[in-house]
Amino acid sequence: MLSYDAPSQGPVSSSGLSSSINGAPASKTQAISAQANGSSAPKHHHIWLVTGPAGCGKSTVAEHLAQSLNMPFIEGDSFHPQSNIEKMSNGIPLTDADRWDWLTILREESRKRLASGSDGVVLTCSALKRKYRDVIRVAGYYDHSLLIHFIFLHAPETVLLERVQARKNHYMGADMVSSQFSILELPQQDEKDVITIDVSRSVEAVKRDALSRVTHMMKGDEED
């Protein structure tokens, strides 16, 4: 199995670590070079990955962003193999080995949607560990105009446990919340591509906050 320990979105070297040119990410360097040559900078494409433990509202927030931004929405859970679904339905936590192929499928599905002509895509995936997030970040290796962003939805475990307990007809049981928190690796300061949003507030407040921060970042990317 593979893991990628560097959060940069630049090209990946043979060692598996991202590279840059003169300290700048390759996508930025490419844009600067294009401007210096009198040509227009490459158009940016975006993967907005909504992450967090069970019960944080990933699908609700992602669907709102996708609809508001007119982008395709990919529900990550729908790409789990049946073996993973059976495990989670029985309260058995997924292992790293269970997740690698799933994460790769989500990354490639996102690239496929972008290749069909969309400027961006909104994807849900718990991405609880940094190395899981890094699997998605590798997409930047294939396309230097691609910018990857994580929207980390966070709340106390007790809040999310109550929400999952209130669900009906969902394979992710309440007992899975604790198992997810036990492996959760909070985004670190050097993960500059992560937005953290407190979801202990009302759903409407969370959706407004998420959309506001995403549109602000998109405007900044366009100005760059």
| The pLDDT value given to residue 7 | 37
Query: 205-222, pLDDT tens digit by residue?
Result: 999 999 999 999 888 766
- Residue 195: closest CA among 156, 148, 144, 159: 148
pLDDT per residue as tens digits for the range 23-51: 334 444 344 344 444 445 557 899 999 99
What average pLDDT does range 9-14 have in this prediction?
36
Q: Is the pLDDT assigned to residue 171 strictly greater than 90?
A: no
**CATH number among 3.40.50.1820, 3.40.50.300, 3.90.1150.10, 3.30.70.270, domain 44-223:** 3.40.50.300
Indicate the average pLDDT of the chain: 81
Least confident of 71-80, 101-110, 149-158, 172-181: 172-181
Instruction: State yes or no: pLDDT of 121 exceeds 90.
Output: yes
pLDDT classification of 141: cutoffs 50, 70, 90 = confident
Check residue 122 and give its pLDDT: 98
State residue 9's pLDDT score: 38
Contact 34, 144 (CB under 8 A): no
> Residue 101's pLDDT band (boundaries 50, 70, 90)?
very high
How far does Cα 217 stand from its chain's mean position?
15
pLDDT tens readout for residues 142-164: 788 899 999 999 999 999 988 88
Name which residue leads in pLDDT, 1 or 202: 202
pLDDT confidence of residue 108: 93
Q: Where are the alpha helices (DSSP H) in the chain?
A: 26-36, 58-69, 82-89, 96-115, 130-137, 139-142, 157-165, 175-183, 203-223
pLDDT at 6: 37
Quick one: CA torsion of 58, 59, 64, 68, rounded to 10 degrees?
A: 100
Whether the per-residue pLDDT at 174 is higher than 70: the answer is no
Q: Residue 165: pLDDT band by 50, 70, 90 thresholds? A: confident
Q: What is the pLDDT of residue 144?
A: 84
Least confidently predicted of 11-20, 23-32, 56-65: 11-20
Whole-number pLDDT of residue 44: 86
